Amino acid sequence: MKDEREPSFEQALARIEEIVDRLEEGDLTLDESLKLFQEGVELSRRCQVVLDDAQKRIEMLVRAADGTLTTEPLEADVPVPRKNES
């Protein structure tokens, strides 16, 4: 179950963009910069976990024509077999 305190992927990504903008302004103290950088790293790790989970879910959904599961990477130009296809 998702921890309600954790931001969604989109919220985390938006916050990372805010942090990058603040750091690029260059008007923060070293301590403020380090705190923001640490927050950004934590959010980046959270985003990576969400992306890894999504990749695993996609891989679980891919089946070969004979019904066996495959774990090939999802590519945009490779058609994904549908459940009723044989």
Instruction: Give the model's pLDDT for residue 57.
Output: 78
What structural domains and CATH numbers belong to the chain?
7-86 (1.10.287)
Give the integer Cα–Cα distance in Å for 64 and 62.
7
How does pLDDT run across 64-79, given as a tens digit for each residue?
A: 678 776 666 655 444 4
Q: What angle do CA 28, 46, 7 make, to 5 degrees?
A: 80
Q: Are 60 and 54 in contact, with CB atoms under 8 Å apart?
A: no
Where are the alpha helices (H) located in the chain, listed in sequence order?
9-25, 30-61
- What per-residue confidence (pLDDT) applies to 30? 97
For 21-79, the pLDDT digits (tens) are 999 999 999 999 999 999 999 999 999 999 998 887 776 666 667 877 666 665 544 44
Confidence tier at 80 by pLDDT (50, 70, 90): very low
Task: Please give the pLDDT value at position 61.
Answer: 64
Query: Among 76, 72, 75, 77, which residue's Cα sits nearest to residue 59?
Result: 72
